[in-house]
């Protein structure tokens, strides 16, 4: 997982700063308005559900949605480094 400060959805995009989240990690999952692959959507839902169980107050993970010139919008999950949320994603080796 890469830190959010280095994240770009494509090579043509610039970084959108998120104050106090630049060092958080981007989960290797992205969904867009156009995501139809049921495996990707299922993986997204299961991952979000597990993160909610690990972090019910949302202090160590967040979902962010951004407008995008290509698919219209995309969503990413950010996780705070060193938390059970990060450990879960690394253990599961979540893939897109």
Neighbours of 7 (CB within 10 A): 19
**Residue-number span of the structural domain to which 73 is assigned:** 2-92
Mean pLDDT of 65-92: 90
* Cα 4 versus chain centre, distance: 9
Would the pTM count as exceeding 0.95? Answer: no
Number of domains in the chain: 1
Which tens digits make up the pLDDT trace of 24-51? 999 988 898 889 999 999 999 999 999 9
Distance CA 40, CA 15 (A): 24
């Amino acid at each position: 997982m890469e830190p959010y400060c280095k994240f770009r959805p494509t090579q043509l995009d610039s970084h959108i700063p998120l104050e106090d989240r630049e060092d958080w990690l981007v989960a290797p999952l992205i969904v867009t308005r156009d995501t139809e692959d049921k495996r990707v959507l299922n993986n997204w839902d299961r991952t979000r559900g597990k993160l909610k169980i690990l972090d019910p107050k949302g202090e160590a993970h967040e979902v962010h949605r951004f407008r995008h010139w290509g698919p219209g919008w995309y969503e990413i999950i950010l996780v705070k480094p060193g938390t059970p949320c990060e450990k879960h994603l690394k253990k599961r080796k979540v893939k897109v």
